[in-house]
Amino acid sequence: MCYCKTPAQWDETADVVIIGSGLAGLSAAIEAARVAKRVVILEKMPYYGGNSVLAGGGYFCWDSKLKMRQKLDLGEDSSDSHFEDTLRSGGYYSDPKLVRAMVDGAPDGLDWLVSSGAQFKDVLAKIGGHSAPRSYQSACPGKPMMDFVKKRALDAGVELRLNSEVTGIFRDGACGEVCGVEIKRDGQPLRIRASRAVIIASGGFAGDVELRMEHNPVLDSSLPCSNHKGATGEVIRYAKSIGADALHMAFIQLYPCASPKSGSVDRWAFYAYSGTGFGMIYVDKRGRRFVRELAGRDEVSKAQMDTGHGCTWAVLNDGIVRALGMTDSEVALGLKLGRMIAADSLAELESKLNMPGAALTDTIDRINSALANGGPDPDFGGPRGSGMLALNDGPFYAIGQWPTVHYTMGGLRIDEEARVIDALRNPIPRLYSAGEVCGGIHGNNRIGGNSLAECVVFGRIAGKNAAAETA
């Protein structure tokens, strides 16, 4: 709804009102609570966390107090390298100022997560689109990591309200300040005044088929979606109705390694994505590679769909399993659930995957030979990549994978201070935003691992600046 008029009466008042309880919203709330006396998070779903509780826990940054790159002797990295990789992966559509703010703030953001209780494995992976290993892997991904952040927010006095759907944002006139929101709670409207500011952290819109087809008609209901059920875009509409600008709405990302049956991005999907930097390969049902594994998500997803098979396979062995930090219990569960297929030999794996002849064996023999001789990639040319492990010894494993609608790069236009910008390129007073609901950071293709960093960095910026507004 459009509310460009202050209501005559408010039902209650808070200093800072935050829409959405994912990592961006919680990060904003914790920062805002350092100054503001009353910070309220409004979550429409009966659970907290949004897509953040489904995240695989890959946090990408070029350095941190953990010094994992130095400990593992993985060479050099820099903010400039992370910056350039992000711009290149996004087709240079990204706003460079936003990217710079994210990559420069990412190391401190990781340290902040660690100080909140999150733990990270002694692994630093290199994945598609990145020129260096910088994927810090959470030892407690998804909800366990979010529980640490939620506890920190609640300990700071933040009020978290579930089942509180925002139905409109109030602005004092067409050019005035944002002053509050309307919510629907137990079927009744409730108007909450924000004496300092409102922060939008409501997440993306991948789950709204109508909205995503409005901007990208190819992504219809035939494609699965990895997002939680609340990943719809109504708050973007509310913000636009009071003058907010939006951009890059047609840029919607597929995740190439989802479960072929459910479209969900589970832990094995993340391993299937992260293992490419260690030598994991992707093959089709004929046992042939169909894409360079370290290509971006958009390129890998398109190549998968071009096979027309409905399922492709990530192939790895026990050495890569260990390099990824995958536990024995995760392997056992993956086998039990059918997400992983195991075999003692490549011939046995070919048989279990119904692949013709010795096609997979031939594919892997050529890769192993190239690695042993220091030669180029036998299928796609150019260097195979440093740090790759040979697929010599078993046991061998395969993880089924297929693209799913995963992330919306477009959303509200913001500046590096997390202020929401209107169509005339002016900041809307007392309105901030952070997380997937924002556009302009990832360009036309989000490079893997930047989403958690974005949520923490811009969430904290939004919270700090919102609390600094005069009450």
Residues identified as active-site: 297
Query: Which residues, listed in sequence order, are joined to residue 40 by a DSSP beta bridge?
Result: 17, 159
b/e per residue 169-194 (b: at least 16 CB within 10 A): bbbbeeebbbbbbbbebeeeebbbbb
* Whether the Cβ atoms of residue 134 and residue 69 lie closer than 8 Å to each other: yes
* Whether the Cβ atoms of residue 151 and residue 131 lie closer than 8 Å to each other: no
For residue 183, give every residue at least 6 positions away whose Cβ sits within 8 Å of its Cβ, in sequence order, or none: 42, 164, 165, 166, 167, 189, 190, 192
Distances from the Cα of 136 to the Cα of 68, 106, 120, 447, angstroms: 8, 11, 7, 14
